[in-house]
Amino acid sequence: MLEIIGTFILIYIIFRVVTGLIIPWLLKRQLNKYKKKYYERNQGGRKYSGKQRNKDVNISIKTKDKKRFDSDNIGEYIDFEEIEDNNKNNK
């Protein structure tokens, strides 16, 4: 009877070690493989190094009118307060 209880305890301990240490390590390793394959496929075949390259980005805006937007000619900001009409409230 003691051998059966000892066997169950040993199996339980082994199970806890496997699920607590080995399985997360295997999952992390597999995810890193998938990540590496993903970056190789989706970034022009370049090897995944874990670092991003610094690239210059040029943005050009094309408009139909060929006029540039000038923020100085927008106008003036006017702050206002809402005033209640006393005549409507007295009726």
38 closest CA partner among 46, 55, 54: 46
CA atoms of 91 and 84, how far apart (whole Å): 14
pLDDT for the residue 4: 93
Question: Is pLDDT larger for residue 46 or for residue 87?
Answer: 87
Q: Assess contact for 40 and 50: CB atoms under 8 A.
A: no
Interval 8-62: pLDDT, tens: 999 999 999 888 888 899 999 999 999 998 888 887 555 555 555 666 766 666 6
For the whole prediction, is pTM greater than 0.85?
no
Q: Assess contact for 48 and 35: CB atoms under 8 A.
A: yes
Q: Assess contact for 48 and 39: CB atoms under 8 A.
A: yes
Measured CA angle at 33 (ends 28, 35), to 5 deg: 90
DSSP state, 45? T
pLDDT for the residue 90: 57
